[in-house]
A and B are shown apart, each in its own frame.
Chain A
Amino acid sequence: MTERTDLRSQASPSAPGGADGVAYVLGLADDALIYAQRLGEWLTRAPQIEEDLALGNVGLDLLGQARALLTRAGDLEGAGRDEDDLAYLRDEREFRNVHLVEQPRGDFGQEMARMLWFASYQHELYTHLVDSVDEVVAGVAAKALKEVAYHRDHAGQWVVRLGDGTAESHERMQAGLEAVAPYVAELGDDDPVSVAAAQAGVGILPSSLVPGTVAHVEAVVAQATLRMPDPPRWRSRGGREGVHSEAMGYLLAELQHIHRSHPGASW
């Protein structure tokens, strides 16, 4: 232990120790960061200007969550890495986000399906993390809870409008739900890091978030006159262990390229 980390843990007496704590917080941060990256692609491409603004808002909220959580992970790790070191200088296998958020941008219906699932999950998650023994995580959760309530609502309203809109939009919204279906189960996987974080009181067991998440999505889908997809033939796995889909390498190449081309530079 260096003197520096001693000082830091004095400043945050509730800091939970251990590599699991760091990895857990990184998982939370990476989900938000990678989804913010995908949402950033929508600006200038949305169906109407109001939606450029709205998707930008959601992306900015997630980026804000990611920055606070990455900073926290860096502090817990105590190796002097800041938010940018963690975002730009880790390799793909060190990223702990689920596959859902890294998938390439589809059409607007598919994006609303993804956002509905992800925001519903994050809403359940942050509702519990407000009580985390890590005060910083609890603080981020308290602030983010209001944000993700808005995201969930925004996506839900669009799913209803598109489901109960025209024949074409109904079909496309259903297709959007089907397209993201293989990626939602992974949100509820109890990986060892999450299990340890839950035991330490830092985190929450992902499987415990599933009923609330599914109930919310089901209610929206019913109101939208759509149907829940059948169980998919395959499902994604392994994001929390750093095993990603092929899309992730390209996403990171774009995200990290400029930063990595100028080692040590400040911006």
Chain B
Amino acid sequence: MYGNDFGEPLNAAETADYADAVQEYFDGLIGADQRIEPRDAMPDGYRRTLIRQIAQHAHSEIIGMQPEGNWITRAPSLRRKAILMAKVQDEAGHGLYLYSAAETLGVDRAELLDKLHSGQQKYSSIFNYPTLTWADVGAIGWLVDGAAIMNQVPLCRCSYGPYARAMIRVCKEESFHQRQGFEILWTLSRGTEEQQAMAQDAADRWWWPSLMMFGPPDTGDAAAPGGHTEQNMAWGIKRFTNDDLRQKFVDMTVPQAQKLGLVLPDPDLRWNDERGHWDFGAIDWDEFWRVLKGDGPCNEQRLAHRRRAHDEGAWVREAANAHAARQAARQEVA
């Protein structure tokens, strides 16, 4: 080649023009409320945000298996045992769909799991609370799966196609979970005095943490520093603010609690005719931040359990890889 003294030319994808074109194309899709698909070019920030959010969501499904898995061997009837095993299994399935959705963004599951195990990526703090009685299994289904649905239904319209599609499958199962949880508490609240007390105690312990599941408030002192709500809404990743979703959840749940005959542990809970919503008391955001940062009753335990399973299974995964490689080599020879 002649005159080849100005170094390697830039790859077309590294030019500023290209970045502008990507942004324009992407903005067009988002503006038209179209789905972004893995093959589409997308801004880096969008990709990174999605990877983080989908990974944390996947981790939550996997860690979330533990508090309920804790009751499989003790479920008080065989029917409940079967329903619970199926539920914990569903959560494993949710984790798998979500890791697959994350993989379409160019990361792999092993890498994400390492980040979970090293504490670099988080999971929902709700799972750092213990399941102490059978009624807690009901409360998790009713409140935790209920809050998850509130969060996830809008994600079915998320701008990123694979995430949206995963959410559609997940939401269907989550609504079963919520109904099953409600049914557990319904039975307990119509049962013996001990069973009723068990149900009330579970509602007392799970109510506030489930309100925290929607994340910090969007405004005020407790708002997350450098929150991403606005950007995520512009990107079509988020459709409602944390406070909007929390209010919807309260409005949905209070009448259900009344049906169950359970008293929610909030003296400030009352219907506001003017707003057309339930007013509720102040959430203890100090507790939220404390648990998020690691000082919750089960943070250490959940991660240690997860790491132990992973470490104890390393030889199995290695063997499966070695066997697959040997099989492939044998086929080549043959």
B318 and A166 form a contact (CB under 8 A): yes
Add 17 more A-B contacts to A49-B99, A52-B92, A53-B92 (CB < 8 A).
Answer: A33-B78, A44-B309, A48-B316, A49-B92, A49-B95, A49-B96, A50-B96, A51-B313, A66-B78, A84-B78, A87-B78, A108-B312, A162-B319, A165-B322, A166-B315, A169-B322, A257-B74
Question: Nearest Cβ distance between residue A170 and chain B, in whole angstroms?
Answer: 8
Complex interface: chain B residues within 8 A of A123 (CB): none
In B291-334, the 8 Å CB interface with A consists of: 305-306, 308-310, 312-320, 322-324, 326
Q: Which stretch (A12-20, A178-186, A258-266) binds chain B?
A: A258-266
Asked whether B194 is an interface residue with its Cβ less than 8 Å from the other chain, the reply is yes
Asked whether B245 is an interface residue with its Cβ less than 8 Å from the other chain, the reply is no
Complex interface: chain B residues within 8 A of A51 (CB): 313, 316
Complex interface: chain A residues within 8 A of B85 (CB): 40, 43, 56, 59-60, 63
Asked whether B187 is an interface residue with its Cβ less than 8 Å from the other chain, the reply is yes
Q: Which stretch (B28-36, B62-70, B274-282) binds chain A?
A: B62-70
- Nearest-neighbor residue (CB-CB) of B308 within chain A: A45
Report which of B82, B86, B192 forms a contact with A265, defined as CB distance below 8 A.
B192
Asked whether B154 is an interface residue with its Cβ less than 8 Å from the other chain, the reply is no
Question: Nearest Cβ distance between residue B155 and chain A, in whole angstroms?
Answer: 21
A53 and B316 form a contact (CB under 8 A): no
Q: A residues bordering B, Cβ < 8 Å?
A: 33, 37, 40-41, 43-53, 56-57, 59-60, 63-64, 66-67, 70, 83-84, 87-88, 107-109, 160-162, 164-166, 168-169, 172, 254-255, 257-259, 262, 264-267
- Nearest-neighbor residue (CB-CB) of B325 within chain A: A165
From known contacts A43-B69, A50-B96, A267-B80, infer whether A56 and B89 are also in contact, taking CB-CB under 8 Å: yes
A161 and B76 form a contact (CB under 8 A): no
**CB<8 Å pairs between A and B, sample of 14:** A40-B73, A43-B65, A43-B88, A47-B313, A49-B99, A53-B92, A53-B93, A57-B89, A59-B85, A60-B86, A64-B82, A162-B323, A265-B76, A267-B76
From known contacts A40-B81, A255-B73, infer whether A48 and B318 are also in contact, taking CB-CB under 8 Å: no
Q: B residues bordering A, Cβ < 8 Å?
A: 62, 65-66, 69, 72-82, 85-86, 88-89, 92-93, 95-96, 99, 134, 184, 187-188, 191-192, 194-195, 305-306, 308-310, 312-320, 322-324, 326
Complex interface: chain B residues within 8 A of A164 (CB): 323, 326
B92 and A63 form a contact (CB under 8 A): no
The binding surface of chain B is classed by DSSP as helix
Question: Nearest Cβ distance between residue B74 and chain A, in whole angstroms?
Answer: 5
Complex interface: chain B residues within 8 A of A48 (CB): 313, 316-317
From known contacts A46-B309, A53-B89, infer whether A168 and B78 are also in contact, taking CB-CB under 8 Å: no
Question: Nearest Cβ distance between residue B81 and chain A, in whole angstroms?
Answer: 6
A56 and B78 form a contact (CB under 8 A): no
A169–B86 alpha-carbon span in the complex (Å)? 30
A52 and B65 form a contact (CB under 8 A): yes
B317 and A258 form a contact (CB under 8 A): no
A108 and B313 form a contact (CB under 8 A): yes
Report which of B78, B82, B134, B315 forms a contact with A169, defined as CB distance below 8 A.
B315
A108–B310 alpha-carbon span in the complex (Å)? 12
Report which of B77, B312, B324 forms a contact with A259, defined as CB distance below 8 A.
B77
A125–B309 alpha-carbon span in the complex (Å)? 34
- Nearest-neighbor residue (CB-CB) of B82 within chain A: A63
A-B pairs with the 8 shortest C-beta distances? A47-B313, A165-B319, A169-B319, A47-B316, A56-B89, A40-B72, A44-B69, A161-B323
Report which of A41, A44, A56, A84 forms a contact with B77, defined as CB distance below 8 A.
A84
Complex interface: chain B residues within 8 A of A258 (CB): 74-76, 134
B81 and A63 form a contact (CB under 8 A): yes
A196–B298 alpha-carbon span in the complex (Å)? 53
B313 and A267 form a contact (CB under 8 A): no
From known contacts A49-B95, A258-B74, A265-B191, infer whether A161 and B309 are also in contact, taking CB-CB under 8 Å: no
Complex interface: chain A residues within 8 A of B309 (CB): 44-47
- Nearest-neighbor residue (CB-CB) of A67 within chain B: B78
B92 and A47 form a contact (CB under 8 A): no
- Nearest-neighbor residue (CB-CB) of B326 within chain A: A164
B315 and A265 form a contact (CB under 8 A): no
A254–B314 alpha-carbon span in the complex (Å)? 29
A47–B321 alpha-carbon span in the complex (Å)? 13
- Nearest-neighbor residue (CB-CB) of A59 within chain B: B85
Question: Nearest Cβ distance between residue B8 and chain A, in whole angstroms?
Answer: 42
Complex interface: chain A residues within 8 A of B74 (CB): 254-255, 257-258
From A56, A164, A169, name the one whose CB has the most chain B CB atoms within 10 angstroms: A56
A109–B318 alpha-carbon span in the complex (Å)? 13
Report which of B73, B305, B313, B322 forms a contact with A166, defined as CB distance below 8 A.
B322
A44 and B66 form a contact (CB under 8 A): yes
Question: Nearest Cβ distance between residue A26 and chain B, in whole angstroms?
Answer: 14
From A43, A46, A164, name the one whose CB has the most chain B CB atoms within 10 angstroms: A43
Question: Nearest Cβ distance between residue A154 and chain B, in whole angstroms?
Answer: 13
Complex interface: chain B residues within 8 A of A64 (CB): 82
From known contacts A43-B89, A49-B92, infer whether A262 and B323 are also in contact, taking CB-CB under 8 Å: no
